[in-house]
Amino acid sequence: MIINKKFAITSGLIGVIVLCVAANKPQQFIPPKLVNLKVFPKNIPFRVLDHQMDIWSDALGVHCNFCHVRDAQTNKMDFASDAKPEKTAGRHMYVMMGKINKKFFAASKDSLGMIITTGVNCNTCHHGVSHPEIKMPEEHRRGPGGPGPGAPGGPAGKQ
């Protein structure tokens, strides 16, 4: 009788453990349907697009909400929305980068139609800053007409 009791208790414990593990099993990730793609290929896999967005956010030092809005009703990001002008600016920058790379760096596209990494990219100008500072070379700050006063070859400054 003791053996049957031990067997019943052990079987019950194993059953409870199996049920707990099954209940806590992580759900399989189902990628969202990609809509409103205007510069990326329509057949781009979610993981490739998500990786590209990670590269962009790192290059600009921003998070998803910089270009994308949150849906107030679902409290989830609405990636398809074009409500923020930064998203449109990002698209224009991506197209510009592609044209620069194609014209000056002979960039080509991969089998998905994505521009192969070469030449310039977001980080070339942004360096982790969403709005990079525009700097003019020193000689252009002096204005037209060559060197400023007191410079070699320039008009003599007041003494």
- On whether residue 151 sits in a domain, the answer given is no
Closest-CA residue to 135 (of 125, 145, 143): 125
CB atoms < 10 A from the CB of 26, how many? 5
Least confident of 14-18, 56-60, 114-118, 154-158: 154-158
DSSP 8-21: HHHHHHHHHHHHHH
Closest-CA residue to 66 (of 78, 84, 82): 84
What does the pLDDT look like over 121-153, one tens digit per residue?
899 999 999 999 988 877 655 556 666 666 665
Residue 158, pLDDT above cutoff 60:
no
CA dihedral 98, 101, 106, 108 (to 10 degrees): -30
Q: Sorting pLDDT into bands at 50, 70 and 90, what band is 73?
A: very high
Range picked from 2-11, 20-29, 92-101, 107-116 for highest mean pLDDT = 92-101
- On whether residue 123 sits in a domain, the answer given is yes
- On whether residue 1 sits in a domain, the answer given is no
Domains contained in the chain, number: 1
Residue 13, pLDDT above cutoff 80:
no
End-to-end CA distance of the chain: 115
Domain that holds residue 75: 46-130
- On whether residue 156 sits in a domain, the answer given is no
* Phi-psi group of 48: left, alpha or beta (phi > 0 → left; psi -120 to 50 → alpha; rest → beta): alpha
Task: Answer whether 116's CB lies under 8 Å from 109's CB.
Answer: yes
For residue 35, the model assigns a pLDDT of 93
- On whether residue 107 sits in a domain, the answer given is yes
Least confident of 10-14, 103-107, 146-150: 146-150
- On whether residue 17 sits in a domain, the answer given is no
**Which residues lie closer than 8 Å to 142 by C-beta, 6 or more apart?**
148, 151
- On whether residue 78 sits in a domain, the answer given is yes
Dist. CA 46–CA 28, nearest whole Å: 15
For residue 1, the model assigns a pLDDT of 57
Q: Sorting pLDDT into bands at 50, 70 and 90, what band is 155?
A: low
Model pTM?
0.64
Dist. CA 57–CA 51, nearest whole Å: 10
